[in-house]
Structure 1
Amino acid sequence: MQGATRRTFIKPLRAGAFCLAISATWIAPSGVALAQQIAINTVNIEGNARIGDSAILSRAGIVPGQSISAGELNAGLQRLQDSGLFESVDFEPRGNALNITVVEYPTINRINFEGNARIGDETLAAAIGSNERRVFNPAQAERDAALIADAYASEGRIAARVTPTIIRRSDNRVDLIFEIFEGDNIEIERLSFTGNRVYSDRRLRRVLETKQAGLFRAFVRSDTLVEDRIEFDRQVLRDFYLSRGYVDFRTNSVNAELTEERDGYFLVFDVQEGQQFRVGEITVASELAEADSDLYRETVKTRSGVVYSPTLIEADIARMERQAIIDGVDFMRVEPRITRDERNLTINVEYVLTRGPRVFVERIDIEGNTTTLDQVIRRQFNSVEGDPFNPREIRESAERIRALGFFSAAEVNAREGSSPDQVIVDVDVEEQPTGSLSFGASFSTNDGIGFAIQFTERNFLGRGQRLGLTLSTAEDDQLYRVNFFEPAFLGRDVGFGLRLDVSESTSSTVTYDTDRAVLTPSLSFPVGANSRLELNYKYDQSEMKDRGSDSDNGPIIGRDIDEGELVNSSIGYRYVYDSRTTGLDPTAGYLFEFGQDFAGVGGDNTFIRTSAKVVGERKIFNEDVTLRATLEGGALNYQSGANRAVDRFLLSTNTIRGFEPGGIGPRDLSESNEDPLGGNLFVAARFEAEFPVGLPEEYGITGGLFYDVGNLWDLNDVDLSGGRVVGESGSFRHVIGVSVLWETPVGPLRFNFSDAIRKEDFDREQTFEVTVNTTF
């Protein structure tokens, strides 16, 4: 950098003044003379090295030998100055000759960033418009400085300052330097609400994307003030209230004030909740002869008296329009007519069946998908080319495309096609990375410390397929897993899955090791709006192994080990109904699962394994408290083969808390380790409540109470000779406990403190449990 000089360029451009020589030819005392045409026979250009004479003359609009007015000459000078190519431009007329002197802007030799630690050079380089080996433009550099400052503002560093400077080099080149002062990270110290009477600040804060600064500020980026995020929060807050019947809700203002130390913000949402409305009278009227209003009234699932929500209305309309397609009623539209009953705080809804415009889908154009195949996007549409155009279906398709998670942006719009009765649907998407490689660690009081490597690709080969590879190892268990899922098998709404698990277990709770390999192909498809059915085949190869002279196996476990390697080959099904994610009540939901496996399709054993689970959840006290109840059970009916311990039910801490894995149920006391034998039958119920404990919300700590009860029993078809078995007939265990839940940036921690108020002497109790799942 010897001989180089640095200077800031934030100065006015040194534009040469357009001073025409005062002569009798060019100046006249009247307006007529001012409009006189000037003949320029010769143009001399000096100072240009990169830009040719013809390009300068063309931009200025000057043609030697032709006449030009003084105004046109002045306009040509202005065009050259505004071109961004020249640092200065001078016009000097001499008789019928014009001398043009220019000073070209230098080219950018190098772009550097100084003082940046929070945002890397590559990220900043991608944000600016200036480029190396391009012409240096002071105005563009100023804009780039503003863009860099905006990037820091989105990180919560609103005090960041960026100063562009240049270093002169030889051959009319410069180095462009952005000197950055990052400033401190200004976070949201307090996020509060005014005007809210029904829902607490704590509950509303959980709705927003913006968060209050907490203990883990270095990991959480949502506790900074970002204008775009605030606008998004206004919308989600409105959606939250509308879905709960507060149709008059509005956000009056959002105020952000700096603290006295100027190191944080106080962010206040001023809201007006209004009254909660419920659904009143529901009627259906038809203006179409082929659409029977009584038939369509039967498709309406919303009932009078429930809390009003626009989602309820949208769902009813969608069901009626689907019924119209089944009935062959084309272009039917459902118009909801809403009337308010202020006295009773109800909203009456009349669905009017009308004829919509006769418009067809001409074609669907997809742009921006560089990786994802067109067919992956097209199958999100229920409409194809030539179908009647349904705006609601297009909106729903747009939501399905966004829900794929393959695109950072997805816009679906309709425009007029080749004729007024044709519509072209434009789909513009922007790809985003869909693969991830994660390294994880886990710890639990049962399994100890473990590590995992996981590769996941959610859009494998751009086909919308999911591929997962997992290598997990803990103190007592190792797992190797391959997962593959095709969501549209043979172009239908049928999912094809393939899963392979290879595991090794050396658990200290038993006196034997287990090697296992399980291959499971499956097909799943919807059987209702919230339900799916899965059909599967399972190949399960397992072996119980003696640990050698250090082990003390009893006679029952010893006979299981002597069976050697066995194969269970089964076909099965699983039905799932889940209203928690797609249900219309945001404060409640439930899950129902039922499945059976029928072994004996080859293999060594014949049995029927049945399992069922029901989960119900409701939020009370203005959604500050969550109540959850779970009931599950299973039955194993052996018909032939070896009924081994690894094939029967062994309850984990996820089924009944307060006991070690396999800590309850039948046990062989004839050996020193008293191995659990499992059982053919089990039933368990869990009841829990989660609630705030009064600590500041930024700590992320909530509390819980739970009560678990369960039983594991039955050893029919098991040779118990030589052993001293207890617990075969079973008994119910009862456990109460408290939980501390801690939300951290690396995942939720749960601390369970439990006490078995009813148990058996041979049970293995566990009064404390903590589970940590970390991915980094």
Structure 2
Amino acid sequence: MKAGSKFLNAVSAVALSAGVVSSGAGIAVLASAIAAEAAVVQRIDVRGAQRVGPEAVRSNLSIQPGRTFSNADIDESVKRLYATGFFSDVQISVSGGTLVVTVAENQLINQVVFNGNRKIKDDKLQGIVQTQGQGPYSDSLISADIQRIREAYSAIGRSDVEVTTQVVPVAEGRVNLAFVINEGERTKISSINFVGNRAYSDGRLAAVLQTKESGILSFLTRKDVYNEDKLRADEEALRQFYYNHGYADFRVISSEAVLNETGNEYTINITVDEGQRYRFGAVSVESTVDGIDGSELQGLLETREGQTYSARDIQKSMEAISRRVSSAGYPFARVVPRGDRNFETNTIGVTYLVDQGERAYVERIEVRGNTRTRDYVIRREFDISEGDAFNQETISRAKRRLEALGFFSAVNISTQAGSSPDRVVVIVDVQDQPTGSFGIGAGYSVGDGGLVLEASVEEKNFLGRGQFIRVAAGGGFDETQTYNFSFTEPYFLGYRLAAGFDVFKSSTSANSYYDYEEQGGTIRVTAPITEDLATTLRYTYKTLDYINDGAFGANGVAGGGDDRVADPYIDAITGSTWKQSILGHSIVYNTVDDRQNPHEGIYASFTHEYAGLGGDSEYYKAFVRARVFYTLSDEFDIVGSLAGSAGHVVALGDNLNVFDQFKIGGKEIRGFDNSGIGPRIGDDSIGGTTYFTASAEATFPLPLVPQDLGFRGAVFADAGTLYGSDLRSQSGVVGTDMSLRASVGAGVIWNSPFGALRVDYAVPVAKEDFDDTQEFRFSMANQF
């Protein structure tokens, strides 16, 4: 018998015993495995590959002419051909010395279109689906795409979206595919209910959550969209809230979202067990690391005996100890807090144990979930990178930094085992959130009857690069105009240096004796000293024009009269362009817990400036301001704050110019106009050399208004003074003495979708006759 006949007989025998293997998809494979040394074909014949071509089929086979093959090779070849997506049916058989591969080609997609979509644009849907034009038609891929579209709509609160497809033939073997979308109504959240809470009201706890009840502004905020991952993040936010307010035993027993299909709205029920409230007992540090004395680390602790228990303070203490020990040459040092509960006194003693820890290295940092923010923006917030020693406190510090950016609605960092026992993979899961805002500000001067408006647009995460951009423009009925543009790169040249610039221009005709115009720019660099302390160096150059508006003659004399009250003043500043060249330096200390809605912490800054590097000004100026926040009532969410500021300027040349001196008013002492107090000539402020201000304020949720809307009330009292002037010898100057101004008032703060807005009404209770008042003030609620 010839070799070829033996081969065919062997194949036939195997075929009869094994039969034909097929699947529901129409796969038909002739099982043709025999002893490996006998299964050899001389050529491969491809049939049915009209569009794809025979070579494309052969390139996906694991079987080659002249080489042995087995059942496993046939299975692998079939899987490869199906994986291309180009075929709806694949059959492999042997005929003599030839391997016959018969395929039925899938239709090709000519174009993918979307119909019925309004809430999600075509370009975004194109990025979601994997079926693309010029690709194969695949039922399984299209089914997966339908699910992806549903998930995208669910993320914007449209869980009842319906997605179907339409296929339209356009040529032989080619079709147009349309995803037909019925977006349905937006799913809402009718209520968020809490069970088991005694220490805090439902409204107070609802303010902690990212998920909000549906309201009149929900179409802007989109915070009333139910998402299971978001609810898990809200559970963690509740835990951290309770842990940081003394409730170390707090638990979320259950959380559920119940959908009312009739109203297409969710009811969220969260059941909690608060437990007892604790204070810190005895606090100490113990070290088993050679050369590290625990008692020397005691001063780094944020936790103090008698204070309300706070997990955040424990974490900060651990990080401070870890940094000190690492800097001493122990990168693997581990800090573990050990708690000692005393149920009789409701205290928890804490001992921080410092040991060498296990040697572990970061294998890689994997970032997931960021759809807008670029990976490197997230990675640069870590003080470690691949290959560095793993340290849990460093990971916690990175998490806090990422949350402070304001780019993400949720940040979760976890770890998993790496490729070897001493390797760790760090997983960073984030959820992007909107970072742009539109702001408006306004002021109304009762004395002048002038309304000033300002509009601004800012983006904290420009193009997902973490860069800050702000554009603002303003104007008023008194012909005041202001323009500002700011840009900040937070990691200049790859270092943790925030470099940026500001360009500005302003002009006004509100002054009695002159028109004023100022324009210039600033370049600045900010470097961190510690997590809470930073320093900034800046250089500013600007030009100033004081133009006689015609109320005075060429020599500053009032038209048609002999009164020269303001003559020296006008002569001193008008008729030419003045220049200022200023080098400034600031130090800022900031421990405020939440910039938009602060409850605890200190914000303090000290700035000093030197003018004299060219230009027309020569002076040294120093000023300081600080604000302390403290929660007066956890239960009612009442937050108190005390603020103060002071400044002084001295001439380094012959004397100060009017534009070298301080001008203060409504921003520091509400109830007064900008530049509304202090030395002046007629109705015009000329500034002073020294000022002091103080303020006390309490904010609270507005009664009968859901806290989810972001409204808070405020009551306040302000006081201060601006005095002294190098122009005091000029005729007609008043207000150079240290007269105290004061005001009391109330306001409403709104954390709106456009940013934090604020309206205040203040009544001056101590003022001078020549002061300019401004009882109503509408502005951005920036407290720093």
What is the TM-score of this pair, normalised by structure 2? 0.78
How large is the RMSD of aligned CA atoms in angstroms? 5.1
What secondary structure is seen at the aligned counterpart in 1 of 2:671?
coil
Q: Distance in 1 between matches of 2:654 and 2:251?
A: 67
Which residue in the other structure is 1:135 paired with?
Answer: 136
What secondary structure is seen at the aligned counterpart in 2 of 1:347?
strand
Output aligned runs, 1:375-774, within 5 Å. 382=383, 390-393=391-394, 396-397=397-398, 400=401, 442-445=441-444, 448=451, 468=469, 470=471, 472-475=473-476, 476-481=479-484, 483=486, 495=497, 497=499, 499-522=501-524, 524-549=526-551, 554-555=566-567, 557-562=569-574, 564-581=576-593, 587-622=599-634, 624-638=637-651, 640-669=653-682, 674-697=683-706, 698-721=708-731, 723=732, 725-771=733-779
What secondary structure is seen at the aligned counterpart in 1 of 2:207?
helix
Letter in 2 for 1:578: N
Letter in 1 for 2:572: D
Give ranges in structure 1 of 5+ residues lacking alignment. Answer: 1-22
Q: Displacement, 1:480?
A: 4.9
Alignment check: 8 A CA contact 1:441 1:449 kept: no
Query: Residues 156 and 181 of structure 1: is their aligned pair in 2 closer, same or farther, counting only changes over 3 Å?
Result: same
Q: Distance in 2 between matches of 1:602 and 1:63?
A: 82
Q: Displacement, 1:136?
A: 0.5
Which residue in the other structure is 2:172 paired with?
Answer: 171
Q: Distance in 2 between matches of 1:648 and 1:599?
A: 12
Q: Distance in 2 between matches of 1:27 and 1:451?
A: 87
Output aligned runs, 1:321-332, within 5 Å. 321-329=322-330, 331-332=332-333
Query: Residues 470 and 245 of structure 1: is their aligned pair in 2 closer, same or farther, counting only changes over 3 Å?
Result: same
Alignment check: 8 A CA contact 1:407 1:429 kept: no
Alignment check: 8 A CA contact 2:440 2:779 kept: no
Output aligned runs, 1:32-51, within 5 Å. 48-51=49-52
Q: Distance in 1 between matches of 2:97 and 2:280?
A: 86
Q: Distance in 1 between matches of 2:355 and 2:71?
A: 67
Q: Displacement, 1:366?
A: 9.4
Which residue in the other structure is 2:4 paired with?
Answer: none
Q: Distance in 1 between matches of 2:654 and 2:110?
A: 79
Q: Distance in 1 between matches of 2:214 and 2:751?
A: 13
Q: Displacement, 1:160?
A: 0.8
Alignment check: 8 A CA contact 2:444 2:774 kept: no
Query: Residues 727 and 80 of structure 1: is their aligned pair in 2 closer, same or farther, counting only changes over 3 Å?
Result: closer
Letter in 2 for 1:543: D
- Post-superposition CA distance 1:195-229 (Å, at most 9, x none): 11112222222221111112123212111212221
Query: Residues 620 and 95 of structure 1: is their aligned pair in 2 closer, same or farther, counting only changes over 3 Å?
Result: same
Give ranges in structure 2 of 5+ residues lacking alignment. Answer: 1-11, 20-29, 559-564
Q: Displacement, 1:561?
A: 2.6
Query: Residues 138 and 651 of structure 1: is their aligned pair in 2 closer, same or farther, counting only changes over 3 Å?
Result: same
Is residue 203 from structure 1 mapped to residue 204 from structure 2 by the alignment? yes
Q: Distance in 1 between matches of 2:78 and 2:499?
A: 70
Q: Distance in 2 between matches of 1:388 and 1:63?
A: 49
What is the TM-score of this pair, normalised by structure 1? 0.79
Which residue in the other structure is 1:155 paired with?
Answer: 156
What secondary structure is seen at the aligned counterpart in 2 of 1:646?
helix
Q: Displacement, 1:268?
A: 1.8
Q: Displacement, 1:637?
A: 3.0
Q: Displacement, 1:412?
A: 8.9
Letter in 1 for 2:692: V
Question: Could you tell which deviates more after superposition, 330-339 or 483-492?
Answer: 483-492
What secondary structure is seen at the aligned counterpart in 1 of 2:661?
coil
Alignment check: 8 A CA contact 1:401 1:410 kept: no
Aligned length: 735
Q: Displacement, 1:314?
A: 2.7
Which residue in the other structure is 2:9 paired with?
Answer: none
Which residue in the other structure is 1:337 paired with?
Answer: 338
Identical residues among aligned pairs (%):
30
Q: Displacement, 1:162?
A: 0.6
Q: Distance in 1 between matches of 2:372 and 2:255?
A: 40
Which residue in the other structure is 1:293 paired with?
Answer: 294
Q: Displacement, 1:533?
A: 3.4
Q: Displacement, 1:534?
A: 3.5
- Post-superposition CA distance 1:227-284 (Å, at most 9, x none): 2211221122212222222222222222223347423222222122111222212233
Query: Residues 54 and 519 of structure 1: is their aligned pair in 2 closer, same or farther, counting only changes over 3 Å?
Result: closer
Alignment check: 8 A CA contact 1:60 1:80 kept: yes
- Post-superposition CA distance 1:308-339 (Å, at most 9, x none): 22332333233333333444456433333223
Query: Residues 556 and 229 of structure 1: is their aligned pair in 2 closer, same or farther, counting only changes over 3 Å?
Result: farther
Is residue 144 from structure 1 mapped to residue 145 from structure 2 by the alignment? yes
Query: Residues 435 and 110 of structure 1: is their aligned pair in 2 closer, same or farther, counting only changes over 3 Å?
Result: same
